[in-house]
Amino acid sequence: MYRALDRFFGPLQWWPGDTPFEVAVGAILTQNTNWANVQKAIGRIKERGALSPVPLYGLDQADLEELIRPSGYYRVKARRLKAFLEVLCEGFGGDLNAMLAGELQDVRRRLLSIAGIGEETADSILLYAGGRPVFVVDAYTRRILERHGMLEGRHSYGEIQRRFLEALPPEAELYNQYHALIVEAGKRFCRKEPRCGQCPLQGISKGVRRAGKGGLQATGSQSCSSGKKFLKRGSGKNVTRSS
């Protein structure tokens, strides 16, 4: 899957940002919105000259809300950003490298303890701002794995993440590119209404069968199940699933 996507898209140089701090801010602002809106919000912060930890932390709540308004849910995101900045500035003197240094799971738990920062946001900060070898899972990841028969049923963020971590070497650069490839494939092809015709993942989908309690194991080729024909497990009949 990685090789097919990498051949098709090439190096994607994700996550965009001039500094690790800008990347961390973007990771918080991108919740429940698209990247174009985040770029507008970050541009407004830059125009204010506040895109560094201490100046941004020093803004009052109303000013911060107004600056990040284009990102949507700006009041909620302002509170989350303030909570992150409080830990960064009060606990680490505004030094993001220091905040993200140390034993990986300890740093991850610290980020997750900040109000409004969930697993995807924490891991995005760790990987893209901190260069730590953590695989980021998002909605595109789940959708692509499900449609290509690599995931079935409801699995937690951690369960999906472990599948990548167990299958891949612990290399931040690889995780960076792989997640970027998944996002690009999701945006361009594996949309809610899929565009399968030119998808680079055609032909590598797998059938699935149970492999122990809660596990899945690939057993053979099938078409992407996003409205296409595929063989229903154990029935011998072709069925159609919706996207």
Residues 7, 63: Cα–Cα separation, whole Å: 45
pLDDT value of residue 71: 97
Please report, for residues 88, 98, 128, the alpha-carbon distance to residue 93 in angstroms, rounded to integers and kept in the order given: 7, 9, 21
Q: Which residues pair with 220 in a beta bridge?
A: 207
> Are 181 and 6 within 8 A, CB to CB?
yes
Helices in 10-135 by DSSP H: which ranges? 20-29, 35-47, 53-58, 61-67, 74-86, 92, 96-99, 104-112, 119-124
Q: Which residues pair with 230 in a beta bridge?
A: 239
Residues 225, 78: Cα–Cα separation, whole Å: 40
pLDDT value of residue 225: 58
**DSSP states of 125-137 as a string?**
IIIIIT-------
> Which of 14-28, 73-87, 171-185, 191-205 shows the lowest per-residue confidence on average (mean pLDDT)?
191-205
Average pLDDT, integer, range 136-151: 93
- Looking at the chain, which residues constitute the CATH 1.10.1670 domain(s)? 136-243
| Residue 237 pLDDT class (50, 70, 90 cuts) | very low
Q: Which residues pair with 208 in a beta bridge?
A: 218
3-state secondary structure string, 138-175? Answer: CHHHHHHHHHCCCCCCCCCHHHHHHHHHHHCCCCHHHH
pLDDT value of residue 205: 66
- Looking at the chain, which residues constitute the CATH 1.10.340.30 domain(s)? 20-129
Tens digits of per-residue pLDDT, 152-210?
888 999 999 999 999 999 999 999 999 999 999 999 999 999 998 889 998 776 543 33
Please report, for residues 107, 142, 165, 218, the alpha-carbon distance to residue 148 in angstroms, rounded to integers and kept in the order given: 33, 10, 19, 10
pLDDT value of residue 216: 37
Kindly tell me if the per-residue pLDDT of 61 is higher than 50. Answer: yes
Q: Which residues pair with 206 in a beta bridge?
A: 221
pLDDT > 70: percent of the chain:
84
| Residue 16 pLDDT class (50, 70, 90 cuts) | confident
Please report, for residues 17, 67, 87, 122, 224, the alpha-carbon distance to residue 119 in angstroms, rounded to integers and kept in the order given: 21, 25, 17, 5, 28
Kindly tell me if the per-residue pLDDT of 229 is higher than 50. Answer: no
Kindly tell me if the per-residue pLDDT of 117 is higher than 80. Answer: yes
CATH topology of domain 136-243: Endonuclease Iii, domain 2 (1.10.1670)
CATH topology of domain 20-129: Endonuclease III; domain 1 (1.10.340)
> Are 186 and 143 within 8 A, CB to CB?
yes
Residues 64, 71: Cα–Cα separation, whole Å: 12
